[in-house]
């Protein structure tokens, strides 16, 4: 096992088996933390096996059951922890005819409050870091495209309902609910707002983000997310930012976490030139009926997180790591060109 620093805090990570949480746990263990991860089924080896293979897991990781929809479900996991990283939230796209309130909004909003009520009962708690999303900032029409959006911006709930972008609405309402609860109950909350997360996936089953990227790289771009312009960030930068925001005494409020914002067409041009053996199209077609989701031009102001010392990897670095891992996991055909 790698040498680790002296024992650090005991922290809880909700949704431990997810794409973002798995990488966060990898980084927390490498930094010497004792981690209590919550999952819906700790006995499901297909979902949690990769966590047990992380360096330090056998010594400093515990997995316990936690379901956002079961009141009090996180009490045991959170009690005695100094920090809580709340990442669990429904991310999957909804099947047609499903009920967005039951499947996305309630678990995101009520689940966040459920986790925070457990935090309130825990006298050891120092800080909660909530994984929100840059989508809580950018889904609005009433801004000056010449001025980058920063953490003072909130997505329009009316626009989200009109466009039926339930995930964005769920993240926006969940983060607002968390701020209200934590202010009323004097809980130290910091929120992190990642853009689209790219990089190697530790869970062997592809999450929705990784499936989207695979759709792009294999030419099935209708599977790729349907927004014309998007911010991107390396998964390791997301994990490191979570830890920075937990550890830094001066961290306060919301933090956008993103490297570069680019149009899908620019992204396709960069990636098709970089990986010529993959069938990446040079232009994107919008999935029929989804043209209205093409958002106006925007930039993100990431100076707040950079001000705490964070530096972000480039688009090329994040996709190189992502492509390499998709090949290693057998999701992409072997790629013979040198990536540099």
Q: Which residues bind ligand NAP (CB under 6 A)?
A: 15, 17-21, 39-40, 47, 66-69, 87-91, 107, 111, 131, 133, 171, 194, 196-197, 207, 209
Taking a C-beta distance cutoff of 8 angstroms, is the pair 55, 273 a contact? no
- The total of other beta-carbon atoms located within 10 Å of residue 29's CB is 23
Give the residue among 319, 137, 101, 153 at the shortest CA–CA distance from 224.
319
In angstroms, rounded to a whole number, what is the distance separating the alpha carbons of residues 299 and 219? 27
Q: 15 vs 56, which CB is nearer to ligand NAP?
A: 15
Taking a C-beta distance cutoff of 8 angstroms, is the pair 9, 82 a contact? yes
Q: 159 vs 206, which CB is nearer to ligand NAP?
A: 206
Tokens of 306: 């950079």
Q: 6 vs 16, which CB is nearer to ligand NAP?
A: 16
Give the residue among 124, 157, 148, 139 at the shortest CA–CA distance from 36.
124
Q: 202 vs 332, which CB is nearer to ligand NAP?
A: 202
Task: Write down the least CB distance from residue 87 to ligand NAP, Å.
Answer: 4
Give the residue among 114, 113, 232, 128 at the shortest CA–CA distance from 174.
113
In angstroms, rounded to a whole number, what is the distance separating the alpha carbons of residues 196 and 328? 22
Task: Write down the least CB distance from residue 6 to ligand NAP, Å.
Answer: 29
Closest residue to ligand NAP, based on beta-carbon distance: 18
197, 75, 104, 232: CA torsion to nearest 10: -10
Task: Write down the least CB distance from residue 189 to ligand NAP, Å.
Answer: 15
Q: 72 vs 276, which CB is nearer to ligand NAP?
A: 72
CA pseudo-torsion sign 206, 211, 213, 215: positive
Taking a C-beta distance cutoff of 8 angstroms, is the pair 59, 87 a contact? no
Q: 129 vs 251, which CB is nearer to ligand NAP?
A: 129
In angstroms, rounded to a whole number, what is the distance separating the alpha carbons of residues 183 and 176? 11
Q: 125 vs 197, which CB is nearer to ligand NAP?
A: 197
Task: Write down the least CB distance from residue 287 to ligand NAP, Å.
Answer: 19
What's the residue count for the chain?
Answer: 340
Task: Write down the least CB distance from residue 238 to ligand NAP, Å.
Answer: 8
Task: Write down the least CB distance from residue 277 to ligand NAP, Å.
Answer: 26
- The total of other beta-carbon atoms located within 10 Å of residue 226's CB is 21
Task: Write down the least CB distance from residue 259 to ligand NAP, Å.
Answer: 12
Task: Write down the least CB distance from residue 91 to ligand NAP, Å.
Answer: 4
Crossing angle of helices 45-52 and 19-30, in 10° steps, is 20
Q: 50 vs 171, which CB is nearer to ligand NAP?
A: 171
Q: 92 vs 273, which CB is nearer to ligand NAP?
A: 92
Task: Write down the least CB distance from residue 217 to ligand NAP, Å.
Answer: 16
Tokens of 311: 């530096």
Crossing angle of helices 166-184 and 106-120, in 10° steps, is 20
Q: How far is CA 36 from the centre of its chain?
A: 19
């Amino acid at each position: 096992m790698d040498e680790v620093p002296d024992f650090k805090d005991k922290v809880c990570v909700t949704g431990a088996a997810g794409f973002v949480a798995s990488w966060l746990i990898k980084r927390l263990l490498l930094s010497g933390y004792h981690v209590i991860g919550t999952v819906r089924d700790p006995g499901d080896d297909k979902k949690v096996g990769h966590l047990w293979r992380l360096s330090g897991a056998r010594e400093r990781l515990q997995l316990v059951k936690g379901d956002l929809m079961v009141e009090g479900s996180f009490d045991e996991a959170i009690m005695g922890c100094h920090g809580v990283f709340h990442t669990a939230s429904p991310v999957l796209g909804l099947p047609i005819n499903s009920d967005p309130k039951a499947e996305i909004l309630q678990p995101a909003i009520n689940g966040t409050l459920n986790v925070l009520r457990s935090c309130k009962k825990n006298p050891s708690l120092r800080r909660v870091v909530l994984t929100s999303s840059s989508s809580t900032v950018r889904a609005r029409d009433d801004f000056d495209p010449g001025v980058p959006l920063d953490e003072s911006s909130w997505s329009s709930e009316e626009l989200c309902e009109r466009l039926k972008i339930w995930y964005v609405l769920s993240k926006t309402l969940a983060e607002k609910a968390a701020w209200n609860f934590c202010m009323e109950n004097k809980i130290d909350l910091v929120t992190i707002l990642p853009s689209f997360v790219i990089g190697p996936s530790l869970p062997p089953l592809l999450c929705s983000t990784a499936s989207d990227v695979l759709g792009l790289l294999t030419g099935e771009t209708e599977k790729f997310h349907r927004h014309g312009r998007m911010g991107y960030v390396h998964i390791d930068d997301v994990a490191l930012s979570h830890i920075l925001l937990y550890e830094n005494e001066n961290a306060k409020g919301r933090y956008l976490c993103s490297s570069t914002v680019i149009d899908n067409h620019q992204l396709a041009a960069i990636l098709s030139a970089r990986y010529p053996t993959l069938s990446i199209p040079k232009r994107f077609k919008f999935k029929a009926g989804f043209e209205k989701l093409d958002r106006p031009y925007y930039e993100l102001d990431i100076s707040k997180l950079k001000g705490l010392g964070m530096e972000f990897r480039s688009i090329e670095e994040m996709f190189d790591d992502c492509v390499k891992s998709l090949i290693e996991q057998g999701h992409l055909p072997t790629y013979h060109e040198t990536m540099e």
